[in-house]
Chain A
Amino acid sequence: MARIRFENITKKFGKTVALKDVSFDVDDGEFFVLLGPSGAGKTTTLKLLAGLYKPTEGNIFINDKNVSEDPPYNRNVAMTFESYALYPHLTVFENIASPLKAPGRNIPSKEVKERVERVARMLKIDQLLDRKPAEASGGQKQRIALARTMVREPDIYLLDEPLSHLDAKIRYELRQEFHRLEALKGVTTVYVTHDYVEALSLGDRILMLDHGEVQQIGKPREIYEDPANIRVAKQVGQPDINIVECVTRVEGEKIVLMPKNEPTINIEISDEAQAAFRNNTYPEVLLGIRPQFIKVGEIPGSQIFDGRVDVYQVLGSEGVLNVEIGDLNLIALTSPEDRYTHGEEIKVYFLKDRFYFFSPENGERIRFS
């Protein structure tokens, strides 16, 4: 049982500001993901929670108790590190049991054995208990590290990029396991990753961090579908969201967007967007279009553009099309069954209701109520 509260935390290392006025709450039992590029401050946040760092300013609460100055061993949090840090000369059993054998714990060896075996069974590494870590595969090492974290039965799990060194297939499998692990349900977990798919898939809520600052906190769909700014929009989604620098201009009765590097075209926008951009409120905007909302073909009522196929790649469950509209090079997602050849002339349209607009000055989302 643990709730976490970060209150206006700033962390400096010398002159470098790693975290700037970060505040958030984690509910009891919540799976809370810290997402961001490398250097965003994710691991610093975890280490502050674990008690390995002390905040420069602000307070950290666990269950309403201010723990900002408490040493790690008074917090009952367990942390796994990105490098598994297993003891190579100990068996897998001894590695998992090691936190229970810490001085002052005095847990009877029968109970140690039971707890290690229980968690090993749950993570499907019970057949490895007598071996050395070197004999385990990458995915198994990860699970051994996880078992060592879980065997303590802490109030809070802190997991730092637990899947990042594994190949795609094992990541995928372990992600499924995280969903199934009863032991993780109900225990407050803070999970650090730079991978948006992991974040969306696992998180009850996501905190998107960049440059030491909170960019957005929300449920997975909010983060993906309703990004607060251009940094969030770029961090989640692959291929990257298309960003087109545009000038807003009047074209007859309409307000349209003219791409700066392709002034011969006007992009039509929704009525709400037109209303918002009237009276020159935003002389320039950044237009964001996710690749899945650029379509090949023509449908009545849509604005149709003449495009030319630049590069086309068929992946597993989708095709990725780089299409040129004049000097604009945009990425579109297609069905993997589609086939396009380099240089082919195609028609393209956008789903304009799915457009995002960002301010060119600060990258913040321009919203219309």
Chain B
Amino acid sequence: MAKVTLKNVYKIYTPRTKGGKEVEAVRDLNLVIEDGEFMALLGPSGCGKTSTLRMIAGLESITKGDIYFDDVRVNDLSSVERNVAMAFETYSLYPHMTVYKNISFPLEVRHKSKKEIHKIVENLAKKFQLDDVLNEYPARLSGGQQQRVSLARALAREPSVFLLDEPLSHSDAQLRFQMRTEIKRLHYEIKSTMIYVTHDQLEALSLADRVAVMNFAELQQVGTRDELYNNPYNLFVADFIGEPPMNLNKGLVTQEDDDLFLKLLGSSITLHMNAERTEKIKRLDKKEYIVGIRPQDIIPVEVPSGFMTFDAEVDFVEFIGERSLLTIKNGDLTLKVLASPDFDVKAGEVLKFSYPPERVHVFDIETEKSILVL
């Protein structure tokens, strides 16, 4: 097991044809993944997450900067020398080998004794519920089983770093859910350093200890689920993390006596913030900001203490099973609100909505950064 450190790492792809442009896939990335930590690299396609993973794995050269495993600089070491294990998006199992052989093969290559190998395979098979299919060939297995074989094979080598590249992206929603739980359980048990690449925020947030959010080749923010949720550094992170997405609207700074608040453009809704943000706005002295509030932070009832309220009309109600999603409007503005499915409301009703002022996010319009980091 190892701590992985990336220092000022760049990946630049040189043009294949004359006159073509260089492509910067990863720009000046600094990231520390602690020993035993589960880190997710999250971002839309083309953000640089897979290039980063491949540089850590030793499958891709590092254009500039350094990568360390503990104190050893690994830039010039091969994948094998780095002792990393990868489970890929495509399972790439050996089709002519049984499940047993698929898992044991990497160990045989490493000249482990038969007895030792047998013990490891049996152990993993039990953990991944593959005991019944050890003698089957991959083609006979379900997608989920193949995925588990792929994971078991990667683990058999006791790697110092375990890399997973979108391992669940080919499964349907229900299977993904089950597999996610298994991977989480697995990390409790093996406690090895894991780096997990995904474009699916639910996967990243639910699995990882910390999530590194990337976009346009750059690291946007790294933090725990709570940090990303409650304190997004910029508009990209605010918009990318959260489902349904955060309500984002322009807000005009308005002051009445000592009271400072943001009036949402196109509506009569005024939002109050916590003291820290209010102070910051006073100091920054700009007229307009982007204001964000999450659908689950607006509550369709009046809450007595610590909450502020505004009025809005229910535009439509979507019942989606575990929850209801309300679209509410005030003037030309619409907002999304999550409600309990038992909440009895109809389109056209005007209600009071409550929100905790500390959950109102404010971003600078030009830099798109949270005012808290300005």
A contacts, CB < 8 Å to B: 38, 167-169, 172, 176, 179, 194-197, 200-201, 220-221, 224, 236-240, 290-292, 310-311, 313-318, 320, 322, 333, 336, 342
Total A-B Cβ pairs within 8 A = 82
Chain B residues near A196: list those with CB within 8 A.
Answer: 321
Check if B188 sits within 8 Å of A316, measured CB to CB. no
- 7 smallest A-B Cβ distances: which pairs? A313-B206, A317-B296, A201-B318, A311-B184, A316-B243, A197-B320, A342-B188
Check if B327 sits within 8 Å of A238, measured CB to CB. no
Among candidates A172, A194, A240, residue contacting B244 with C-beta atoms closer than 8 Å: A172
Residue of A nearest to B178 (CB): A240
**Binding site secondary structure of chain A:** mixed
Among candidates B180, B205, B296, B325, residue contacting A314 with C-beta atoms closer than 8 Å: B205
**Bound complex: CA A322 to CA B185 (Å):** 10
18 A–B pairs (Cβ distance < 8 Å), ordered by A:
A168-B201, A176-B327, A179-B316, A195-B173, A197-B321, A200-B318, A238-B173, A238-B177, A238-B321, A292-B322, A310-B185, A311-B181, A311-B184, A314-B206, A315-B202, A317-B296, A318-B322, A336-B296
Chain A residues near B313: list those with CB within 8 A.
Answer: none
Check if A168 sits within 8 Å of B174, measured CB to CB. no
**Bound complex: CA A311 to CA B181 (Å):** 7
**Bound complex: CA A172 to CA B295 (Å):** 13
Chain B 266-321 interface residues, beta-carbon cutoff 8 Å to A? 295-296, 316, 318-321
Number of B interface residues in the complex (CB < 8 A): 36
Among candidates A197, A224, A311, A320, residue contacting B188 with C-beta atoms closer than 8 Å: A311
Check if A317 sits within 8 Å of B185, measured CB to CB. no
Check if B245 sits within 8 Å of A224, measured CB to CB. no
B199 within 8 A of A: yes
Chain A residues near B172: list those with CB within 8 A.
Answer: 38, 194
Among candidates A176, A179, A200, residue contacting B320 with C-beta atoms closer than 8 Å: A200
B323 within 8 A of A: yes
Chain B residues near A195: list those with CB within 8 A.
Answer: 173
B225 within 8 A of A: yes
Tell whether A168 pairs with B177 under 8 Å between CB atoms, given A311-B188, A315-B206: no
Chain B residues near A314: list those with CB within 8 A.
Answer: 205-206, 225
Cβ distance A169 to chain B, nearest Cβ, rounded Å:
6
Residue of B nearest to A292 (CB): B322
Cβ distance A81 to chain B, nearest Cβ, rounded Å:
20
Check if A200 sits within 8 Å of B323, measured CB to CB. no
Check if B321 sits within 8 Å of A236, measured CB to CB. yes
**Bound complex: CA A313 to CA B173 (Å):** 16
